[in-house]
Amino acid sequence: MDRGAVVRITDVAALAGVSPSTVSKALNDTGSLRESTRARVREAAERLGFVPDASARSLSARRSFTVGLLSTDSAGRFSLPVVLGAENALVGGELSALLATARHDPVREQHHVRALVARRVDGIIVTGRTTEPREPIKVPMPVVYAFAPSSDADDASVVPDDALGMRLLVEHLVGLGRRRIAYVGGRAEQAASLVRYETLAAELAARDLAAVGEPLYGDWSEQWGRRAVDQILAGGPGSGRADGALPVDAIVFASDQLARGGCDRLRERGLRVPDDVAVTGYDDWDVMSLASRPPLTTVDMQLERLGQRAAELLIAAIEGDPARGVERLAPRLVVRASTLGDG
């Protein structure tokens, strides 16, 4: 399209009958100019569709008004909302977002970091796929880590408060009178699986309760959720129908996917959720938590807000007020029919 049509400041100046510097002052509300002059310049700029060249502006401002969004993975289910939340918050600050996905490849990541440095981004937000701490990146501008914290405690990180999330679930379940609670995690070596169990155990202990049986670990699939239910029920007397002596009255799953599988299997075995067994998930991933039968009580980590918060911290750092350490963002308990019946 009209390639040559790029309007420069001199074009506006010519049309308005002033000098380029006057145009700059008029459009940026600086310097001292008669209001009539400003208006005339504005009108000329408007008429020509003048949009100042960001490269030139960056060059003299020594700022790019751009931040990098560096995602360790390919912006999957967890890092994507974070990225979107951040992008959203950045727009408000007149900043643009450069997307860089490393796809778990250190070489790619290095390449991206270099590119971001070359672009003199004002700052970088680093996100990951898991909550595992990660090696910090070395760059000459502020960095905020989101979801996956930096392993260097001096860096600024924002992570979901998993412990609080689990506490909310326990409060909810115990408040409903559930006492025999079992736990089903995902992959055993991942922090999300482990931390959630530890908090669960601690919270139960604080109420003179204990989890039923050992925590069960597998993977993050619905299939494992189903199998885990089988294992739990096999552990109690009368594996099938309730004779009033089910081994559990609630199962806490470490993800919505697991919970959904669990609900399916409970139903298939003739048990009612939540009447016989209450079920909770984690993540509030709508296609799982809402499509589950019944819909899941779960914890929303508020990942978009997490990204937004990371952006706020980054903007503050850019403006000379850097944060340090890990900030934990409170999640939100979402109560649905898997614990409350039709309530």
Partner DNA sequence: TACGATCAGGAAATCGGATTCCTAGTTTCC
Partner DNA sequence: GGAAACTAGGAATCCGATTTCCTGATCGTA
Alpha carbon distances (Å) from 241 to 233, 235, 247, 279: 10, 14, 12, 17
H or E stretch at 10: helix 9-16
Our CB check for DNA shows the closer of 51 and 234 to be 51
CB-CB neighbours of 285 under 10 Å: 21
Tell me the residue ranges of DSSP E strands in the chain: 66-71, 96-101, 123-127, 143-146, 156-160, 181-184, 250-253, 278-280, 298-300, 325-329, 332-334
Rounded to whole angstroms, how far apart are CA atoms 147 and 115? 23
Among 21, 28, 39, 99, binds a second copy (CB under 8 A): 99
Q: Which residues of 189-228 are buried (b: 16+ CB within 10 A; e: fewer)?
A: ebebbbbbbebbbebbeeeebebbbebbbbebebebbbbb
Shortest CB 66 distance to DNA, Å = 15
Question: Residues 314, 67: contact at Cβ < 8 Å?
Answer: yes
Rounded CA separation 202/204 (Å):
5
Task: Please state the closest distance from residue 95 (CB atom) to a second copy, in A.
Answer: 10
Q: Which is nearer to a second copy, 66 or 199 (CB)?
A: 66
Binding-site partner at residue 130 among DNA, a second copy, none, CB < 5 to 8 Å by type: none
Closer to a second copy by CB, 27 or 195: give it.
27
For a second copy (CB under 8 A), the number of binding residues is: 54
Candidates 74, 151, 231, 239: give the one binding a second copy (CB under 8 A).
Answer: 74
Identity of residue 254: A
Question: Is residue 34 at the binding interface for a second copy, with CB under 8 A as the rule?
Answer: no
Site for DNA in 38-77 (CB under 7 A): 50, 52-53, 56-57, 59-62
Main-chain phi, psi angles of 156, to 5 degrees: -95, 130
Taking a C-beta distance cutoff of 8 angstroms, is the pair 228, 262 a contact? yes
> Which of 14, 37, 132, 267 is in the footprint of DNA by CB under 7 A?
37
Residues 247 to 306 in contact with a second copy, rule: CB under 8 A: 257, 261, 287-288, 291
Neighbours of 134 (CB within 10 A): 20
Out of 41, 97, 212, 311, name the contact with a second copy by CB under 8 A: 97
Which stretch, 34-42, 108-116, 242-250, 276-284, contacts DNA (CB under 7 A)?
Answer: 34-42
Closest approach, Cβ 169 to DNA, in A, equals: 52
Contacts of 138 (CB under 8 A, 6+ apart): none
Distance CA 315, CA 97 (A): 12
Q: Please list, in sequence order, all residues whose beta carbon lies within 8 angstroms of the beta carbon of residue 267, skipping any fewer than 6 positions away.
A: 273, 293
Nearest to a second copy of 217, 220 (CB atom): 220
Stretch that binds a second copy, among 62-70, 168-176, 239-247, 270-278 (CB under 8 A): 62-70
Kindly determine how many residues on this chain lie close enough to bind DNA according to the rule CB under 7 A: 31
Residues in touch with a second copy (CB under 8 A): 1-3, 5-6, 51-56, 58-59, 64, 66, 69, 74-75, 80, 83-84, 87-88, 91, 96-101, 103, 108, 111-112, 114-115, 117-120, 138-143, 221-223, 257, 261, 287-288, 291
Residues in touch with DNA (CB under 7 A): 6-10, 17-22, 24-25, 27-28, 30-34, 36-37, 50, 52-53, 56-57, 59-62
